Chains A and B, each alone.
Chain A
Amino acid sequence: MTDEEDRRKQQGERRHPSDKDETAMPRRAHDSSRVRAAIRTELEEVAEESLGTQTETRPVPRVISVENVTLSFEETVLENVSFAARSGETICIVGESGTGKSTILKLLLRLLIPDQGRVAIDGEDITHLTFDDALKVRQKMGMVFQGAALFDSMTVYENVAYPLREHTDLQEDEIEARVREKLEFVDLEPHKVMEQLPSELSGGMKKRVGIARGLANNPEIMLYDEPTSGLDPLTTATITYLILKLQRELGVTSIVVSHDIRSSFRMASKIALLANKRIGFFGTPEEMTGSDDPYIREFLGGF
């Protein structure tokens, strides 16, 4: 396959989210075995596709690049950390708790500024931007927080509509259409949840509304902080499936911070293992399982 064909194929995958698959996820867990089967099929398909394209991703531009970043608060958190994500890739950052995984997301959002090194989004160095310019760069990104971080004084509708009201001149009916579209994309029924407050939702539903809010502005990059922590295995699978669906249907570049190694292996194009303040390993899941580095073997122990 030539580079040109490859690029066209990637573009073709940026389908409109309303063009849903016939084989889409069952809505709720009436029949858990059916849900699991659907997830397994989805995951296998995606795994096959990503295997097929992985070797030919070189011409795709780097969307995110982190170069030799060092960051200290009272003590050093990150030391000489480098990795890059190309368009459409899903990078999972894994590591033990408290190793500064979430800090990397804050660096990408420029909520933190590195002491040394460079963070670039779409080739633009964001480390020296002014506060207002940083707000503009953040509009290219959608972030899903660990606890969903929905605004609890607003309804689900207002939460998802928030980035639209802030940054677009869309009319109210267009906003409503977009909110419905995004809620449907994350397999929620808009008419049921739109008027509910975040406190009335379950953990998994909050996460999904969080994803819908992150997606509202059609970002090219999605960042996830522990998207599956604290969820039951079935909901974990559903969220993993959603992240995959985003990558596949919208071609979104994703950075997922997680300590859930099982889910990470399912969705990652590449895995970055953060250990001792550095990136101890950066490569495909297959390369990781094939590694004989003792720390990686120990980390993967149970897997």
Chain B
Amino acid sequence: MILERFNDAAKRGVYSLQEFFVLAGKALGFIFVKPFYASDLFQQMDAIGVGSLGIVLLTGFFTGMVLALQSSVQLQTFGASDYIGRLIAGSMIRELGPVLAGLMVAGRVGSGIAAQLGSMRVTEQIDALNTLGTDPIKKLVTPRVLAALVMLPVLTIINDFIGILGGNVIARFYLGKPSALYWKTVFEQMLAGGFTLHYIPNDFIQGLVKPFVFGGIISLVACYYGLKTTGGTEGVGISTTRTVVTASILILVVDYFLTQILLSIFPQ
């Protein structure tokens, strides 16, 4: 009896995973297939990118400040507080920028996408699209995935910059380090990791591959749960919660493995 239940649960799990990858494959494949829903794409880029700018600026700035504040204590112990810019730039660009932007967007945009598609599912709007001869994946999923793939790296760049700026504020007014010194160490850090193709700092590649992957994870997980919604408005709530939980966990787990892979490709 227990074995049977376990077996059923495993089957369901594998089936869901298969469904997810089929959705991902179709959504990404449709990027290159006409008709292109350009207006939907721009609308989504606006919603995901411009819409998330506020929370990304806010979280980035305060994270940069608190990071500078906490590490200043440690660095002072070793008399290394001149290098605070290196520490902030390294952590923001490689790790905190992408992950924080990812988590914020998962909460704000992921939940929104899941709720919207979920409501469309339960009010038969998805069936209506199908009936009117439109593939809902092409019309709804592809623009959202593409918009997230493009906008998350952009948000991350902004997040990195504003975080480093937050660090600058603490270095200048709390530690009394001149801004010129702070930014000199920031640039030193950026260039220290080596270059790809002579000009692109390896840190940038690390810092931009991650948000690109996170953008895909957030949008696909949200669309998957949204389209799978059943059970009326309660179902919409469940889909939204599942999206935020799954996307956030996946971001943190995938971040670890991505870092491993990227470090082996671009050794410091």
Asked if residues A145 and B127 are in contact (CB atoms below 8 Å), the reply is yes
Report B's interface with A, CB cutoff 8 A: 120, 123-125, 127-128, 130-135
Asked if residues A141 and B124 are in contact (CB atoms below 8 Å), the reply is no
Residues in A with CB closer than 8 Å to B123 are 147, 149, 152
Q: List 30 A-B contacts (CB under 8 A).
A: A106-B127, A109-B130, A111-B127, A111-B130, A131-B135, A135-B134, A138-B130, A138-B131, A138-B132, A138-B133, A139-B133, A143-B128, A143-B131, A145-B124, A145-B127, A145-B128, A146-B124, A147-B124, A149-B123, A149-B124, A149-B125, A149-B127, A149-B128, A150-B128, A151-B120, A151-B125, A152-B125, A163-B132, A166-B133, A167-B133
Taking A135-B135, A151-B128 as known contacts, 10 extra A-B pairs with beta carbons closer than 8 A to each other, sorted by chain A number, are A135-B130, A135-B134, A141-B131, A143-B131, A145-B124, A146-B124, A147-B123, A149-B123, A149-B125, A151-B120
Smallest CB separation, A10 vs chain B (Å): 26
Asked if residues B128 and A136 are in contact (CB atoms below 8 Å), the reply is no
Residues in B with CB closer than 8 Å to A143 are 127-128, 131
Within 8 A of B (CB), among A1-21: none
How many interface residues does chain A have, given as a range?
A: 20 to 34
Q: Indicate which residue in A109, A147, A151, A152 contacts B131 across the interface (CB closer than 8 Å).
A: A109
Q: Give bound CA distance, A162 to B127, whole Å.
A: 14
Residues in A with CB closer than 8 Å to B128 are 143, 145, 149-151
Q: Could you mark each residue 79-115 of chain A with 1 if its beta carbon is under 8 Å from any beta carbon of chain B, else 0?
A: 0000000000000000000000000001001010000
Within 8 A of B (CB), among A182-227: 213
Residues in B with CB closer than 8 Å to A151 are 120, 125, 128
Q: Give bound CA distance, A213 to B120, whole Å.
A: 17
Residues in A with CB closer than 8 Å to B133 are 135-136, 138-139, 163, 166-167
Q: Give bound CA distance, A149 to B134, whole Å.
A: 15
Residues in B with CB closer than 8 Å to A146 are 124
Residues in B with CB closer than 8 Å to A139 are 133
Q: Give bound CA distance, A151 to B130, whole Å.
A: 13
Residues in A with CB closer than 8 Å to B135 are 131, 135
CB nearest to B125 among chain A residues: A149
In this complex, which of B127, B131, B133 has the most chain A Cβ atoms within 10 angstroms of its Cβ? B131
Residues in B with CB closer than 8 Å to A147 are 123-124
Q: Give bound CA distance, A220 to B66, whole Å.
A: 66
CB nearest to A140 among chain B residues: B133
Q: Give bound CA distance, A77 to B213, whole Å.
A: 42
Residues in B with CB closer than 8 Å to A111 are 127, 130-131
Residues in B with CB closer than 8 Å to A135 are 130, 133-135
Q: Give bound CA distance, A42 to B44, whole Å.
A: 48
CB nearest to B116 among chain A residues: A153
In this complex, which of A136, A139, A143 has the most chain B Cβ atoms within 10 angstroms of its Cβ? A143
CB nearest to B131 among chain A residues: A143
Residues in A with CB closer than 8 Å to B131 are 109, 111, 138, 141, 143
* A-B complex: 5 closest residue pairs judged by Cβ atoms: A149-B124, A149-B128, A143-B131, A135-B133, A145-B124
CB nearest to B134 among chain A residues: A166
Residues in B with CB closer than 8 Å to A150 are 125, 128
Q: Give bound CA distance, A139 to B124, whole Å.
A: 18
Q: Give bound CA distance, A171 to B147, whole Å.
A: 29
Smallest CB separation, B243 vs chain A (Å): 19
Q: Give bound CA distance, A265 to B134, whole Å.
A: 34
Asked if residues A166 and B130 are in contact (CB atoms below 8 Å), the reply is no
Q: Give bound CA distance, A213 to B134, whole Å.
A: 14
Residues in A with CB closer than 8 Å to B120 are 151
Asked if residues A166 and B127 are in contact (CB atoms below 8 Å), the reply is no
Q: Give bound CA distance, A150 to B124, whole Å.
A: 9
CB nearest to B119 among chain A residues: A152
Q: Give bound CA distance, A44 to B131, whole Å.
A: 33
Smallest CB separation, B35 vs chain A (Å): 8
Q: Give bound CA distance, A48 to B134, whole Å.
A: 40
Q: Give bound CA distance, A163 to B131, whole Å.
A: 10
Q: Give bound CA distance, A136 to B133, whole Å.
A: 7
Residues in A with CB closer than 8 Å to B125 are 149-152
Residues in B with CB closer than 8 Å to A106 are 127
Q: Give bound CA distance, A146 to B125, whole Å.
A: 11
Q: Give bound CA distance, A167 to B135, whole Å.
A: 13
